[in-house]
Amino acid sequence: MADIVPAEVRSRMMSGIRGRDTRPEMLLRRGLHAMGFRFRVSDRKLPGSPDMVFPRYRAVLFVHGCFWHGHDCHLFRLPGTRREFWQAKIESNRVRDAATEVRLVDAGWRVLTVWECALRGRARRPLDEVLADCAGWLRGDTQQGMIRGTA
């Protein structure tokens, strides 16, 4: 299937996609801050530059976009054009995510991943429920965690 927009337009559209300060990330930041949690944002000193770093809890939080990180939910669909490119791109993102998580755990950090589908789409959960799950995980002692949509 051919792309429905010219290459220049597609390039401009793709370059406008944010890597940080995304809507799901901002929802979590505002909510957790309002609950009294204090954190650093995108700390480049740590592997993978986690979206939020909670030094007091020795924990980090990643907010993963379902498309870019290849999540198995309704928000992920492999594009019809340049399939080989996108498969390789998304697979390399998955491999990098796994390696980053191992490096963080080995360094003594706890790692929580919140998937975009938990906050948007037909499988989204209420924001206060996602925030409560994040808060519970932060206050707990579980090494790794994941929050995803309902479906």
Pairing of the two strands 59-64 and 110-115: parallel
Residues of the chain predicted below pLDDT 50: none
Beta bridge partners of 64: 115
Which residues have C-beta within 8 Å of that of residue 137, sequence separation ≥ 6? 59, 112, 145, 147
Please report the beta strands in 1-151, taking only residues with DSSP state E, as ranges in sequence order.
40-41, 52-54, 59-64, 110-115, 144-147
Q: Could you give the domains of the chain?
A: 20-147 (3.40.960.10)
Q: What pLDDT does residue 16 have?
A: 61
- Specify the pTM: 0.88
d(CA 63, CA 126): 16
Which residues have C-beta within 8 Å of that of residue 47, sequence separation ≥ 6? 100, 103, 104, 107
